[in-house]
Amino acid sequence: MDTKAIIKYWIEEADEALQVAEHLFGTGDYSYSLFFGHLCIEKILKAIYVYNNRKHAPPIHNLIRLAELAKIDLSADISDKMIEITTFNLEARYPDTKRTFRSLCTKDFKQEKLMKLGASTNG
């Protein structure tokens, strides 16, 4: 296993997911923008997992579980945010919750979520 190549792969995938999230936000597709924001964080966590464990990341999407498996200690505040972000993955993906979630995802909603997340990563 070429650990460096796999880590590079996950980082490149995270960067691409972030670019898609930003593009979707610009087009007004806020629910899928949040979904791709989740994917970005998920892929960064998978890169950290590979770095810390020297094996392939598990095919899971729960950010809290990925952080635990990646041996990352999260503060309570960050854990709360990760729980919320994980819901973006579920709510944007499954038809029974997608419509409700999409109706919530206004530009203001998305900006509020980004500000909360930015405050936790910049503080």
In this predicted structure, the answer to whether residue 112 has a pLDDT above a threshold of 80 is no
Report which of 45, 47, 46, 25 is spatially closest to residue 35, judged by C-alpha positions: 25
Confidence of residue 88 (pLDDT cuts 50, 70, 90): confident
Query: What is the torsional sign of CA 109, 115, 120, 121?
Result: positive
DSSP per-residue codes, 81-98: HHHHHHHHHHHHHSHHHH
- The whole-model pTM stands at 0.79
Count of CB atoms situated within 10 Å of the CB of 66: 23
Greatest CA span in the chain, whole angstroms?
44
In this predicted structure, the answer to whether residue 121 has a pLDDT above a threshold of 50 is no
Every domain of the chain and the residues it spans: 3-122
In this predicted structure, the answer to whether residue 104 has a pLDDT above a threshold of 90 is no
Q: What is the mean pLDDT of residues 74-89?
A: 90
The pLDDT assigned to 48 comes to 98
Choosing among 3.30.1360.170, 1.20.120.330, 1.10.3470.10, 2.40.30.170, the CATH entry for 3-122 is 1.20.120.330
